[in-house]
Amino acid sequence: MRVGSCSVGTDLLSEGPRLNERHDCWLSLTQDAFVHLPHLRDRLTPAEQSPMRITREGLATRDERARAAGYPADWRQSDQQIDRSWRSFLSSRVEAGDLWVFGYGSLMWDPGFRYTEIRLAEIEGYQRRFTFKIEVITGSPERPGLVMSLEQQPGRCRGLAFRIAADLVEAESEILWRREMILFSYSPRMVSVATPQGSINALVFTSDRSQPNYIGELPLKETAATIAQGVGIRGANRTYVEKLAIELKELELEDPYIEQLLEQINNTASSQA
């Protein structure tokens, strides 16, 4: 049985639910998470069906696949690094209780964690940009791609905000951390976010410019050319941009950068055909 985005039956992509987990899940998700955005009810991947709901066992499986593909041992952050960062975040939270998470990329269609409420959201002083080089997953040493992050610069970024109920924050944020912090790209921080229902403070994964794979914002044409040719064991780098553009259109959220980037990617592909 499923309530909102929560399964109170068997979780097919995790180790399997414990009795208290099912009980907490039921208490937290009896309200309609899509009350503000009912048209998204069937568009977002439920947590129990998400390939991005990464357990410890799931991460070990990814490591096996990475080794088979010839990735170096340090292709991702270690379990210890991820765990240390996650625990530091939990211990530094000023306000206990529910946790809001701002999604500006794939979280908008496949969050992977259980949430009790979803809203349209906007933050000032940040914009989507492809600023990290990637040679794994959707890139390779021969055909590297780019990873999108949130850059602190004039402008605004519109996306979705998800509320994780207090009794699920520890378990669900751990799942989220394995997904977002697996590569060397993001710096998590709490940021003021505007929503139609009022302002909130939300967890946002922003650019970590200290990382060696950070290359900054390239000219749009160069960004498009890199993404257009990038490919890895998970497929083409450009697929992410295409999916993002579709979701932004569905949400009626304008982002000129993504629109122009996709147009340039298509032009690049056409000229190479």
The domains of the chain are located at: 33-272
The pLDDT score that the predictor gives to residue 2 is 35
* Closest CA relative to residue 207, chosen from 167, 153, 163: 153
pLDDT of residue 238 exceeding 60, the answer is yes
The pLDDT score that the predictor gives to residue 7 is 37
Residues 51, 194: Cα–Cα separation, whole Å: 29
- For the chain, give the mean pLDDT: 88
Across residues 147-175, what is the average pLDDT? 97
> Binning pLDDT at 50, 70 and 90, where does residue 24 land?
very low
Give the whole-number percent of the chain exceeding pLDDT 90. Answer: 80
Strands 186-193 and 117-134, bridge-based pairing: unpaired
Across residues 142-169, what is the average pLDDT? 97
Strands 145-164 and 235-236, bridge-based pairing: unpaired
Residues 208, 72: Cα–Cα separation, whole Å: 22
At 28-65, the pLDDT tens digits run 444 799 999 999 999 999 999 999 999 889 899 999 99
The pLDDT score that the predictor gives to residue 16 is 34
pLDDT of residue 76 exceeding 60, the answer is yes
Tokens of 41: 């009810």
The pLDDT score that the predictor gives to residue 271 is 72
Q: At what angle do helices 256-272 and 238-250 cross, to 10 degrees?
A: 140
Across residues 95-112, what is the average pLDDT? 95
The pLDDT score that the predictor gives to residue 160 is 98
> Binning pLDDT at 50, 70 and 90, where does residue 269 land?
confident
Residues 11, 13: Cα–Cα separation, whole Å: 6
> Binning pLDDT at 50, 70 and 90, where does residue 244 land?
very high
Residues 27, 124: Cα–Cα separation, whole Å: 34
The pLDDT score that the predictor gives to residue 273 is 59
The pLDDT score that the predictor gives to residue 266 is 95
Strands 6-7 and 2-3, bridge-based pairing: antiparallel
Residues 228, 203: Cα–Cα separation, whole Å: 31
Across residues 163-192, what is the average pLDDT? 96
Across residues 93-110, what is the average pLDDT? 94
> Binning pLDDT at 50, 70 and 90, where does residue 15 land?
very low
Burial readout 31-66 (b: 16 or more C-beta within 10 A, e: otherwise):
eebbeebeebeeebbbbbebebbbeeebeeebeeeb
> Binning pLDDT at 50, 70 and 90, where does residue 108 land?
very high
Domain range 33-272, CATH class? alpha beta
pLDDT of residue 9 exceeding 60, the answer is no
Tell me the CA distances in angstroms from 219 to 2, 11, 128, 216, one per residue in order.
46, 44, 14, 10
Give the whole-number percent of the chain exceeding pLDDT 70. Answer: 88
Catalytic residue, chosen from 21, 48, 180, 247, is 180
Residues 235, 131: Cα–Cα separation, whole Å: 19
Asked if 180 is an active-site residue, the reply is yes
Across residues 254-268, what is the average pLDDT? 96
Name the helix (H) or strand (E) containing 163.
strand 145-164
Q: How many contiguous H segments (helices) and E segments (strands) does the chain have? A: 7, 9
Name the residue with higher pLDDT: 96 or 200: 200
